[in-house]
Amino acid sequence: GSLFKISLYANDSSTANLAASAAFQRISELNKALSDYDEKSETWQLNADRTKANEKYTPGEDLWQAMLLSKELNELTYGAFDPTIGSLVRLWRRSRRRVELPGHNDLVRSMQNSGFANIKIHHHEKTIQFLKDELMLDFGAIGKGIAADEAAKILKNHGINIFMMDAGGDLLVGKAPPKQKGWRIDMQ
């Protein structure tokens, strides 16, 4: 759901185009796995499944890796980072559209259907298991960063080390442009 822009330096336009195309392709692949806006994405479809409780689900590799990283960050932040708050995010999005605060019962229900305590990660099987049907994933806090990091790896694999990536307002930079100490960043 975010616009990505890549500025880069390469020895020739062919290398630049090939590297940029591969980076954008990788971003697209991750969007197809992690988006909660795109009805065709793996995350959206998993969220829409109201019969998922207690069923083991074998995610694609990108969703699997995002879950592992998210679990690690959840533990490191003592629960402050939590992509299982998808039902809360949707509740607040709906409230914003309606220009009204969510009801108390809706908030309580969404909170009860959130939290890593309501999901099991089976490492040996590479499966995840939701313990509640209404638990929903939202990778909005981490998805752009994962996509930017993966796109940067692609650029570097193509020999592109001088780049700046704007991932919907979040910046990731490689080495400085030729004859520069760093990237110039203008803010409006």
Q: What's the pLDDT score for residue 59?
A: 97
**CA 38 to CA 20: how far, in whole Å?**
23
- How many helices (H) and strands (E) the chain has is answered by 6, 6
Listing from the earlier edge strand, what are the strands of the sheet with 119-122?
56-57, 127-130, 119-122
Residues with pLDDT less than 70, the chain: 1
DSSP label of 103: P
Q: Beta partners for 57?
A: 128
Structure confidence by residue, pLDDT tens digits, 71-104: 999 999 999 999 999 999 999 999 999 999 999 9
Residue that has been written with the tokens 């220009």 in this structure: 99
**Do 136 and 84 touch, CB atoms closer than 8 A?**
yes
What is the pLDDT at residue 116? 93
Classify 156 as helix, strand or coil.
helix
Calpha distance 82→141 (Å, rounded): 9
Helix (H) or strand (E) holding 121: strand 119-122
Asked if residues 20 and 9 have their Cβ atoms less than 8 Å apart, the reply is: no
Calpha distance 174→160 (Å, rounded):
9
Give the pLDDT of residue 54: 86
pTM of the predicted structure, to 2 decimals: 0.90
pLDDT of residue 46: 93
**Which among 10, 21, 7, 44 is positioned nearest to 166, based on CA atoms?**
7
Angstrom distance (rounded) from CA 187 to CA 33: 31
